């Protein structure tokens, strides 16, 4: 698994990374780079670090984020919202143990780490939309629903209220200008 780009009109994929481990695409940065998670330099076994690479290739740029999985950059590129581990792939429903999903933030200018306030719920797949972070959580009813978090006010609000089935998020980033 490596990072590739494909023209939006179709065409030949271009391979950008050549790592023996998995490189998993996370998000486009506002300055046009691709943020990806890789275990090429592991801090702990199975935990990937955040890297960046330009759409034309070149040497990947290591970031200061050493434990990352699902990543999303703020519109100004100064803050990353992310899950530190891929616990949604190995935790079971209504799991409340030590690897529960938490939404983390990293401020690239101050190099400060913080977490979204949470209790014992699972919070996964953070995604910046404007000044808010959307994510899925099993906070209410134990069913995964879509929530919104305002990092400035620290307020959370529930967007969907399904109780019969979980919502699923699938990231699709289409940018015809890149």
Q: Residue 47 carries which DSSP code? A: -
For residue 174, name the pLDDT band (cuts at 50, 70, 90). Answer: very low
How far is it, in rounded angstroms, from Cα 149 to Cα 9? 35
Q: State the Cα–Cα distance between residues 16 and 18, nearest whole angstrom.
A: 7
Task: Tell me if residue 178 falls in helix, strand or coil.
Answer: coil
- Within 13 Å, how many C-alpha atoms sit on residue 60's CB side? 25
Beta bridge partners of 15: 4
The reported pLDDT for the residue numbered 86 is 77
pLDDT at 160 over 80: yes
pLDDT score at 147: 95
Cα–Cα dist 95/111, whole Å: 31
pLDDT of residue 176: 36
Strands lying side by side in the sheet with 112-115: 71-73, 79-82, 104-107, 112-115
Tell me the C-alpha to C-alpha distance, in Å, between residue 158 and each of 3, 163, 176: 34, 13, 31
pLDDT value, residue 178: 33
């Amino acid at each position: 698994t490596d990072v590739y780009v494909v023209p939006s009109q179709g065409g030949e994929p271009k391979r950008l990374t050549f790592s023996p481990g998995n490189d998993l695409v996370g998000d486009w940065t506002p300055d046009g780079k691709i943020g990806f998670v890789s275990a090429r330099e592991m801090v702990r076994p199975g935990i990937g670090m955040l890297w960046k690479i330009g759409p034309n290739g070149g040497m990947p740029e290591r970031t200061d984020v050493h434990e990352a999985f699902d990543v999303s950059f703020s519109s100004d590129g100064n803050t990353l919202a992310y899950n530190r581990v891929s616990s949604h792939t190995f935790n079971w429903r209504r799991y409340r143990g030590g690897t529960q999903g938490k939404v983390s933030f990293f401020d690239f200018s101050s190099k400060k780490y913080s977490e979204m306030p949470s209790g014992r719920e699972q919070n996964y797949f953070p995604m910046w939309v404007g000044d808010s972070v959307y994510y899925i959580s099993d906070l209410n009813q134990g069913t995964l629903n879509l929530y919104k978090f305002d990092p400035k006010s620290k307020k959370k609000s529930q967007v969907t209220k399904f109780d019969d089935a979980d919502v699923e998020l699938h990231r699709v980033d289409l940018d015809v200008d890149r």
